[in-house]
Amino acid sequence: MDSAVYGVVGESVKLWCGFYSTVPVSKFVTVDWRYRQKDGGPTVPILHYQSKAYPILEGSFKDRVTWEGDVERGDASIRIENLRLTDNGTLFCVVRNPPDVHGKVPEMKLTVTLHSLSFKFNTAILLASLVFIPSVLVAIVLLVRMKRAIRRERSRNKKNKKSPIEASQE
C-alpha cells in the first residue's frame, strides 16, 4: 500500500497522485482512477482523464468525484465529495503518457469514519509514553526504595545506640 487517506462521512478528501514520465507530457496522456471495495472484488472506474476529466455517470461515486490535477506538472489528483462509509476501500491512479505506458500504479487506502478523531497520536504523545512516563515510574520506585533504606538505617541505629553510661563503661 502506497499511502493511507482518512476522511469523515459527509466531508471531502483529496487523493493526490503524482507521476513522472520519461517523455514530455503529450495530448495523449491518460489518467484512470479506479476503486476496489474494502472486502475485495473487481476494480471499477471512477474517473477518466484525457485532455479533460470524464467522471463516471453511474455507480456510488456518481457526481462526487472532481478532477484537481494538472498533468503538465505531474499531478493527477482528484477529490471525492460527500464521503460515505461505503467508500472505504483502495483507489488506484493509472497514468499513461505514450510511449511511456509502464510504471508503478499508486494505491491509496481510503478509510472513512463517522467522526473525526479528536485525539491524534503525534510525536509529543509518543515521547511522553515512551520516555517521560517510564522515567517517572523509575524515579518513584527509586524514591520508595531510598525511603525504606533510610528507615531501616534509623531502626538499626536506635537498636545499637547506647546510653552515655554504657558507652563510658566500655
| Same domain flag for 128 and 84 | no
pLDDT tops 80 at residue 105: no
pTM for the whole thing?
Answer: 0.65
pLDDT band at 81 (very low <50, low <70, confident <90, very high): very high
Q: 102 and 150: one domain?
A: no
Same domain, 144 and 98: no
The verdict on 127 and 108 lying in the same domain is no
Q: Are residues 30 and 102 in the same domain?
A: yes
Whether residues 127 and 71 fall in one domain:
no
Number of domains observed in the structure of the chain: 2
pLDDT tens by residue, 108-138: 899 999 876 555 566 667 777 778 788 888 9
Residue type, 143: L
In angstroms, the CA 47 to CA 76 distance is 11
22 and 106 housed in the same domain: yes
* Domain final residue pick, 77, 93, 113: 113
Kindly state whether residues 74 and 149 are assigned to the same domain: no
- Mark residue 153 as left, alpha or beta (left: phi above 0; alpha: psi -120 to 50; beta: remaining): alpha
Q: What is the pLDDT of residues 9-66, one digit of tens each?
A: 999 999 999 888 888 888 999 999 999 999 888 999 999 999 999 998 899 999 999 9
Q: Is 103 a residue whose pLDDT tops 70?
A: no
In this prediction, residue 21 carries a pLDDT of 85
Q: Which range marks the domain in which residue 147 is found? A: 123-161
The CA-atom distances, in angstroms, between 128 and each of 118, 134, 136, 139, 142 are 18, 9, 10, 15, 20
Identify the pLDDT of residue 116. 66
Q: In the prediction, which pLDDT does 75 show? A: 94
Q: Is residue 168 part of a domain?
A: no
60 and 138 housed in the same domain: no
Judged against a pLDDT cut of 90, whether residue 155 lies above it is answered with no
Q: Among residues 79, 103, 100, 82, which one has the least CA distance to residue 91?
A: 79
What pLDDT is recorded for position 134? 83
DSSP assignment of the chain equals --EEEEEETTS-EEE--B---SS---TT-EEEEEEEETT----EEEEEESSSEEE-SSSTTTTTEEE--BGGGTB--EEE-S--GGG-EEEEEEEEBTTB------EEEEEEESS--SS---HHHHHIIIIIHHHHHHHHHHHHHHHHHHHHHHHHHHHH---HHHHHH-
Phi-psi region of 63 (alpha: psi -120 to 50; beta: other; left: phi over 0): left
